């Protein structure tokens, strides 16, 4: 199943939660690398 198909199989709530989780992982990665937060 492609990423798109997987995402479309989720409810809107689940899509928002997945997005939040991705942002959190990204934030932790930046912290570990000592990088600044991107602006967009």
Partner 1 sequence: MLHGSSLVTRDLDVCTVLSADTVARLRDALRDLRPTHRLTPQRLSFLATPEPGVGMNNLYLETDLGPVDFLGSINGIGDFERVRAAAMEIELFGRRCRVISLQDLIQAKEALGRDKDILAAKELRAIAEKQQ
User: With binding defined as CB under 8 A, does residue 1 bind partner 1?
Assistant: no
Do residues 7 and 18 make contact, with C-beta atoms less than 8 angstroms apart?
Answer: yes
**Helix/strand/coil percent split, the chain, to 5:** 70, 0, 30
Which value, in Å, is the radius of gyration of the alpha carbons in the chain? 13
User: With binding defined as CB under 8 A, does residue 12 bind partner 1?
Assistant: yes
Residues 19-38 that bind partner 1 (CB under 8 A): 19, 22-23, 26, 38
Binding site for partner 1 (CB under 8 A): 3-5, 7-8, 10, 12-13, 15-16, 19, 22-23, 26, 38-40
């Amino acid at each position: 199943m492609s990423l798109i198909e997987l995402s479309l199989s989720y409810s809107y709530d689940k899509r928002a939660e997945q997005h939040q989780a991705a942002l959190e992982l990204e934030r932790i990665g930046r912290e570990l690398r000592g990088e600044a937060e991107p602006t967009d």
